[in-house]
């Protein structure tokens, strides 16, 4: 009955090693309900907005997490 989420603070990786990063994130996605990347949503930690975004995406209230 638990939903799980990874909240990353990362950037779009255009380096030659980006395939390793992409493979890692793809593997993680299969184990979690939600993977939120700061570079994709346009908000970075420690901005409180990123946590509000995650709560909304999970359809959860602060006291539930």
Say if 65 falls within a structural domain.
Answer: no
The domain tally of the chain equals 1
In this prediction the pTM is: 0.75
> Taking the C-alpha atoms of 2, 39, 42 and 53 in order, what is their torsion angle to the nearest 10 degrees?
0
DSSP 62: G
Say if 28 falls within a structural domain.
Answer: yes
Tens-place pLDDT, residues 5-37: 998 888 777 778 788 888 888 888 899 999 998
- Higher-scoring residue by pLDDT: 64, 15: 64
Structural domain containing residue 9:
5-58
CATH number at residue 45: 3.40.50.1000
Question: pLDDT tier at 60 (50, 70, 90 boundaries)?
Answer: very high
Say if 63 falls within a structural domain.
Answer: no
């Amino acid at each position: 009955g638990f939903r799980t989420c990874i909240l990353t603070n990362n950037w779009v990786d255009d380096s030659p090693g980006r395939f390793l990063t992409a493979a890692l994130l793809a593997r993680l996605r299969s184990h979690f309900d939600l993977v939120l990347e700061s570079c994709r949503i346009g908000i970075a930690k420690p901005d409180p907005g990123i946590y509000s975004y995650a709560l909304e995406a999970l359809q959860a209230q602060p006291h539930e997490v």
